[in-house]
Amino acid sequence: MSVLVYLEHAEGTVDEPSLQAATVASSLTGGDEDVHAVMASDTVSLALEGALPVEVVHVAVHDAFGSYAPLAIAEAIVELVGRLGAAAVVGPGTERGNEVLAHVAALLDLPLAANCVSVGGPAVTRVRWGGSLLEEARVDAPTLLLTVQPHAVAVEPGAGDAPSVEAFTPTLSEGALALRVVERVGAATGGVSLADAKVVVSGGRGAGSEEGFAPIEELAGLLGAAVGCSRAVTMAGWRPHTDQVGQTGTKIAPEIYIACGISGATQHMAGCKGAKRILAINADREAPILQSADYAVIGDLHEIVPAI
Partner 1 sequence: MRVLVCVKRVPMTGGTIVLTDDARAIETRHLGFTISPHEECGVEEAVRLVEAHGGESVVLTLGSAEAEEQLRDAMAIGADRAIHVVTDGQEWDPQATASAILDAIRDDEAANGSFDLVVFGNESADAGNFQVGVRIAHALGRPIATGLKALTVEGGAARCEQEVPGGRDVYALPLPAVVTVKEGLNLPRYPSVPGKLRAQRKPVETRTPERPAPRLEMTRLVVPEGDRKQAEVLGEGAAAAPHVVEVLRDIGVLT
Binding site for ligand FAD (CB under 6 A): 204-206, 230-233, 244-249, 261-263, 265, 267-268, 271, 281-284, 287, 300-302
As measured in angstroms, the least distance from the Cβ of 114 to ligand FAD is 16
Phi, psi of 203 (to 5 degrees): -120, 145
Parallel, antiparallel, or unpaired: how do β-strands 56-61 and 34-41 relate?
parallel
Nearer to ligand FAD, 116 or 252 (CB): 252
Is residue 299 involved in binding partner 1 (CB under 8 A)? yes
Nearer to ligand FAD, 103 or 268 (CB): 268
Phi, psi of 146 (to 5 degrees): -155, 160
Is residue 134 involved in binding partner 1 (CB under 8 A)? yes
Q: Report the partner that residue 261 touches, choosing among partner 1, ligand FAD, none (CB closer than 5 to 8 A by kind).
A: ligand FAD
Stretch that binds partner 1, among 43-51, 57-65, 104-112, 157-165 (CB under 8 A): 104-112
Maximal CA-CA distance, the chain: 66
Parallel, antiparallel, or unpaired: how do β-strands 34-41 and 2-6 relate?
parallel
Nearer to ligand FAD, 60 or 262 (CB): 262
Q: Report the partner that residue 271 touches, choosing among ligand FAD, partner 1, none (CB closer than 5 to 8 A by kind).
A: ligand FAD
Stretch that binds partner 1, among 31-39, 43-51, 210-218, 259-267 (CB under 8 A): 259-267
Stretch that binds partner 1, among 25-33, 34-42, 153-161, 178-186 (CB under 8 A): 178-186
Residue nearest to ligand FAD (CB): 246
- Type and span of the H or E element at 307: helix 301-307
- Type and span of the H or E element at 226: strand 226-229
Task: Identify the residue among 51, 56, 87, 111 touching partner 1 (CB under 8 A).
Answer: 111
Q: Minimal CA–CA distance to 199: which of 266, 255, 122?
A: 255
Is residue 30 involved in binding partner 1 (CB under 8 A)? no
In 10 A of CB 226, how many CB atoms?
23
Is residue 303 involved in binding partner 1 (CB under 8 A)? yes
DSSP three-state, residue 260: strand
Q: Report the partner that residue 230 touches, choosing among ligand FAD, partner 1, none (CB closer than 5 to 8 A by kind).
A: ligand FAD
Phi, psi of 105 (to 5 degrees): -60, -40
Q: Report the partner that residue 191 touches, choosing among partner 1, ligand FAD, none (CB closer than 5 to 8 A by kind).
A: none
- Distance between CA 76 and CA 72 in Å, rounded? 6
DSSP state of 179: S
- Distance between CA 141 and CA 81 in Å, rounded? 14
DSSP codes, 237-256: TSS-GGGBBSTTSB----SE
Q: Report the partner that residue 187 touches, choosing among ligand FAD, partner 1, none (CB closer than 5 to 8 A by kind).
A: partner 1
Nearer to partner 1, 52 or 219 (CB): 219
Nearer to ligand FAD, 255 or 300 (CB): 300
Taking a C-beta distance cutoff of 8 angstroms, is the pair 251, 269 a contact? no
